[in-house]
Structure 1
Amino acid sequence: MKRLIIAVLAISIFACQQEPKIDYAILSGKVENSKATAAMLKSADFKTEIAINEDGTFADTLRIPENGFYSLSIGRESTSMYLKKGDNINMALDIKEFDESINYTSEGATENNYLVKKYLNNEAVTKDPAAFYSQDEDTYKKSLSKMASDNLQNLNALENADEAFVATEKNNLVYDEYSMMDRYQNYHRHYAKNPEYEISESFLPEELKAMSFNDSQAYKMSASYRSLAMGKTIKPIYDAIGENHLSTTTDHLKSIKDIKIQALKNDVINSLGGFLVSPGNPNMESLYNFFVSNSTNEDSKKNLTETFEKNKDLIKGKPSPQFVNYENHKGGEMSLTDLKGKYVYVDVWATWCGPCIREIPSLKEVEKKFHNENIEFVSASIDQVKDHDKWVAMVKDKELGGMQLMADNDWKSKFVQDYAIQGIPRFILIDPNGNIVSADAPRPSDPKLVELLEEELKMQP
């Protein structure tokens, strides 16, 4: 009998050892009124696509790396989720009333329905940004305190919620409040139309002033912590770079090496690399090598490498990529080869681009100054076909000078892609032989443009 009991115990232990470890969460549901064919679930170090069927239903087994907060995006809408291994969550939503319609059921619903409630509570408080951020300091603080108090009350009222979620979310509520306090000065300046406004010395909590960003777990779990960390980390770098980013060296970026959170370091590099790895910068190769050696994000490194490889052919003296048969606002079509024999200053812009439009007055002044010189000013719009009439009207209404052209395929135009343009406005200077002077030339509002043109055109200052 004793041997039999031992044998049964051994079998039981073996069975327990063989029981599969649950390292996944199941997410299913239905989205109404959407033509989306996929949803995207991601966190700081995880990303996966979830297929959506024609009837709006979806279901997937998610091999999440850890329990925590994730972002679920469908089209332009997104929501925060909390997923833990072993969850079997069902969600229902209507894309027309995205946040208001989200409802979770089954295992994992408690935490996620709280997150929906939290978002709607915050949205109700901040629904009128002008009124909210125009409040004086004391009133603004009271509004934040009330919002945090309501969210904490809802959190404490949860039944059978995951203990790790509750503990993490309590920290997140503090970071949420800190983040909104941190943004107050800039937002108040804008909405209260008081650009010189400075917060009082006592406005920010001492804990916020003294925050050092070295908590990698908080960076993963809190969007507000990420926002604070990114802002506090990248601002000194921008200050070091100054106004002329085309003179950036690795010395300006040395503080990146000291960032304690690798995910934050990756995000900073991803933010800076796209425009600093520029053919207009003689230090492009050393910057590229610096970014790649300090990043662990393979997607980011791949993008940087693609940009660098393309930009190697865009340095000064290389033949310029061509645009062919772009529509001319004055009629007919125009190609870059039609302008050979002249310098060509190309402004890549669009009617929806605010910074582009803000450059128009300065561009007109530069055009006027160099009106009688051997240079053509070309503005190439990358508006979509559906906005063609808007482009025609804006050129006329704003009395835009120079040569106004419309690219043949907006962002996908070969000229735009060959110049590795990822953001606009972008300015390009080409010499009379069709070779590149600068693939990332100064903006019209930058005095360095006049200096560059005077030097190239050999004008007397």
Structure 2
Amino acid sequence: MKKLSSLLFGLLMMVACSQEKPKDYVTLSGNLENNKDSTLTIVSREGILKTIKFNENGSFKDTLKLKTDQGEIYTIQTSDTKRAPIYLKNGYDIVLNGDSEKFMTSFKFSGEGSSNSNFVLAQIEKSQEMGNPQLILNLEEDAFRKKVDQLKFEYDSILESHKNLDSVLYASVKQQNEQLVTYFDNAYAQNQIMGVGKPSPKFEDYINIKGGKNSLDDYKGKYVYIDVWATWCGPCIQQIPYLQTLEKEYHNKNIEFISVSTDESQRSGGSWEAAEKKWRDFVKARNMSGVQLWSGQDYSFQQAYQINGIPRFILIDPNGNIVDANAPRPSDPALKSMFNSLGI
């Protein structure tokens, strides 16, 4: 009888353990070599979620409870210029190892749920290999078609080579890949209308942070390098230091640097007034140079350029014609080469 009771107790314990709920938080740990920063920050589209302190040897470990049980891509950063994506979901136990000096390019994720983050990094690496999409849009039609088909095949191969992806991420990327050809076809057709040398779409009466309003025509006679961005956009913020360095280097040259904020009410509690204040406070806090404009509720310029993601950079010549509708980023050495070739 005693043995039977012990057996029943053991079985009950096994059943109880098997019915335990999965943990409702993320565990994140790892080590960054050559680290000189004190903290690692986890950022969502709404803002900072968690700040994790590094140990002296560059190791770290902490937990994070996400507001949603659905997996999403977040940003991990140690500074404005050191950022990388990470795919998190409650229940994951992820280990990150890498080199702080090489940051994202050296990152390797392991542990439960890590395949998703490694996949996202592989996607980014492929996008960087692709380079400026405008170069593809400038190809002759036959070469353009072959290039797009090749890209579709390569992106599909990356997706299928990463096993055990979260179902939400897999479905989302699968859909994006299916839409890739259509996206490039539409962009190619648009490029025939808005390609190099074509008149640029215009914006009018954008609010200038220094007072008054400005239109694109106000800057005719100079090259215009436009940065379309927003205060909530991590990759946009990453480009700011590079843009400010560029502005100083080309000060008094025949070029105007214009930053157009697209901050909107939807991300500011439904208030356009709050959106404008967020933009003004951000520009002031960062001491951002160049011409700082806010587009407000006017989406016509973004729609004309089919801007579906930011940051987006556009270069226009002194006559108001398009030089590059998808110009290199300030961090890309190709931009200075372009400026030099134009004699700026």
TM-score interval for Structure 1 and Structure 2 normalised by the shorter chain: 0.5 to 0.7
Aligned equivalents of 2:296, 2:330: Cα separation in 1: 25
Counterpart residue type for residue 330 of structure 1: K
Distance 1:373 1:322, change over 3 A: same
Q: CA deviation at 1:414?
A: 0.4
Alignment of 1:20-39 (within 5 A): none
Alignment of 1:371-410 (within 5 A): 371-384=251-264, 385=272, 386-409=274-297
Q: CA deviation at 1:378?
A: 0.6
Aligned equivalents of 1:358, 1:237: Cα separation in 2: 16
Aligned equivalents of 2:328, 2:104: Cα separation in 1: 26
Rg comparison, structure with higher value: 1
Match of 1:434 among 309, 320, 325: 320
Quick one: percent identity of the two aligned structures?
A: 37
Distance 1:332 1:229, change over 3 A: closer
CA contact (8 A) 2:224 2:318 kept: yes
Aligned equivalents of 1:372, 1:338: Cα separation in 2: 17
SS in 2 for 1:416: helix
Aligned equivalents of 2:335, 2:275: Cα separation in 1: 30
Gaps of 5+ in 2: 1-19, 29-48, 56-60, 64-87, 137-146, 161-166, 265-271
Aligned equivalents of 2:249, 2:158: Cα separation in 1: 46
The question of 1:367 aligning with 2:268 is answered: no
Q: CA deviation at 1:449?
A: 1.0
SS in 1 for 2:292: strand
Structure with the higher fraction of residues in helix conformation: 1
CA deviation vs aligned residue, 1:196-241 (integer Å, no higher than 9, x gap)? 99879xx76xxx9xxxxxxxxxxxxxxx6xx847954871783485
Q: Which residue of 2 aligns with 1:415?
A: 301
CA contact (8 A) 2:132 2:327 kept: no
Query: How many correspondences in the alignment?
Result: 248
SS in 2 for 1:346: strand
Q: Which residue of 2 aligns with 1:255?
A: 154
Q: Which residue of 2 aligns with 1:336?
A: 216
SS in 1 for 2:24: helix
Match of 1:314 among 180, 194, 202: 194
Distance 1:273 1:304, change over 3 A: farther
Counterpart residue type for residue 200 of structure 2: S
Aligned equivalents of 1:368, 1:233: Cα separation in 2: 35
Distance 1:124 1:259, change over 3 A: closer
Q: CA deviation at 1:382?
A: 0.9
Counterpart residue type for residue 235 of structure 1: A
Distance 1:233 1:341, change over 3 A: closer
Q: Which residue of 2 aligns with 1:82?
A: none
CA deviation vs aligned residue, 1:226-284 (integer Å, no higher than 9, x gap)? x84795487178348527343564445543465796x999744654688xxxxxxxxxx
Aligned equivalents of 2:52, 2:240: Cα separation in 1: 32
Aligned equivalents of 1:237, 1:379: Cα separation in 2: 25
Aligned equivalents of 1:311, 1:269: Cα separation in 2: 26
Distance 1:123 1:336, change over 3 A: same
Aligned equivalents of 2:321, 2:247: Cα separation in 1: 21
Q: Which residue of 2 aligns with 1:244?
A: 131
Q: CA deviation at 1:403?
A: 1.0
Counterpart residue type for residue 393 of structure 1: D
Aligned equivalents of 1:378, 1:244: Cα separation in 2: 23
Q: Which residue of 2 aligns with 1:355?
A: 235
Q: Which residue of 1 aligns with 2:337?
A: 451
Match of 1:184 among 95, 102, 117: 95
Alignment of 1:43-122 (within 5 A): 118=21, 121-122=22-23
Q: CA deviation at 1:391?
A: 1.8
CA deviation vs aligned residue, 1:9-45 (integer Å, no higher than 9, x gap)? xxxxxxxxxxxxxxxxxxxxxxxxxxxxxxxxxxxxx
CA contact (8 A) 1:324 1:335 kept: yes
CA contact (8 A) 1:311 1:420 kept: no
CA contact (8 A) 1:241 1:252 kept: no
Q: CA deviation at 1:452?
A: 0.8
Q: CA deviation at 1:306?
A: 5.0
CA contact (8 A) 2:239 2:329 kept: yes
CA deviation vs aligned residue, 1:263-317 (integer Å, no higher than 9, x gap)? 999744654688xxxxxxxxxxxxxxxx43xxxxxxxx4x665555444433211
Distance 1:240 1:405, change over 3 A: closer
Distance 1:185 1:308, change over 3 A: same
Q: CA deviation at 1:347?
A: 0.8
CA RMSD of aligned residues (A): 4.5
SS in 1 for 2:23: helix
Counterpart residue type for residue 185 of structure 1: L
Structure showing greater relative contact order (alpha-carbon pairs closer than 8 Å, 6 or more residues apart): 2
CA deviation vs aligned residue, 1:34-80 (integer Å, no higher than 9, x gap)? xxxxxxxxxxxxxxxxxxxxxxxxxxxxxxxxxxxxxxxxxxxxxxx
CA contact (8 A) 1:347 1:425 kept: yes
CA contact (8 A) 1:343 1:376 kept: yes
What is the TM-score with the length of structure 2 in the denominator?
0.57
